[in-house]
A and B are shown apart, each in its own frame.
Chain A
C-alpha cells in the first residue's frame, strides 16, 4: 500500500501540541 501521510501531518495530531486545551474551562 502506498503511504499517503507525511510524518509531520501525523505528528501534528498529538494532544501535546493541542494548546487550545489551555483555554478550556
Chain B
C-alpha cells in the first residue's frame, strides 16, 4: 500500500486504520475517528508521542497523574495488550469496545474476570479479593474492622465459589454475574454510544465521506 502526501507523517506508531478497527469492534468508522480525538487528547497530555503512558491514563481518570490506584493499574495493563508499557490507538479502541453498550455480555464477563484475577492465575482467589477490598476501603478512607472484611469475603465466596475450593473459576464467575447482573454495570459506558457528539471535531480529520 502506498503512502501519499503528508498523511502518513502525522500518524504515530500504533495508529491503525479506522475502517479496520470499525470492522473488528462495536464502533462505526466515525466513532473510531471520534475516539481518535479523545486518544490524541489523552496521549499528548504529558508526553506528546501518540501513545498513552500510565501517568496520562491516571491524569485522564483522576485529574492527577500521580494518583495510584490498584484498579486503574489493572485496567491500564489489560488495555496494554502488547505489554510494552503504553496503550496504542488500536489497543485503546479494541479494549474500549468491550465497554460499548452493544458489546456482548460474554466479552464483558471475560474482561471483568481478567481484571479481578490480579495475579493472572486463571482464578479469582480469596487473597486477591481481600486485597481489592482493602484497596477500595483505603481509597474511600473508611476504617472497617478485619472481622467485617472476613464476613464480606465469607458471604461472597459462599455465593460464588460453588465447588468450595477457595477460589472462583471462570465458570463460577459467569454463573455468579448472571445471578448478580448489577456487577456488570461498570463494564458498560453509555458515553460510547455518543462519542461522535462528545468529540465532533473528528469530522475535520475524517477520511470517510459519510461521517454523520
Contacts and interface: CB of A to CB of B under 8 A. Distances in A.
B189 A16 contact: no
Contacts of A14: 69-71, 135-136, 139
Query: Looking at chain A's contact residues, is the secondary structure mostly helix, strand, loop, or mixed?
Result: helix
Contacts, number: 87
Most chain A CB within 10 A, of B71, B73, B96, B133, is at B71
Interface of A: 3, 5-23
B116 interface: yes
A3 B186 contact: no
Contacts of B132: 7, 11
B9 interface: no
Contact of B116 (A8, A15, A16): A8
Interface residues of B, number: 42
B133 A7 contact: yes
Interface in B145-203: 148, 151-156, 159-160, 180, 182-183, 185-186, 189-191, 195, 198
A16 B191 CA distance: 17
Given A19-B99, A20-B191, A7 B156 contact: yes
Contacts of A3: 148, 151-152, 154-155
Contacts of A19: 61, 75, 96, 99, 186, 189
A11 B186 CA distance: 10
B211 interface: no
Contacts of B191: 20, 23
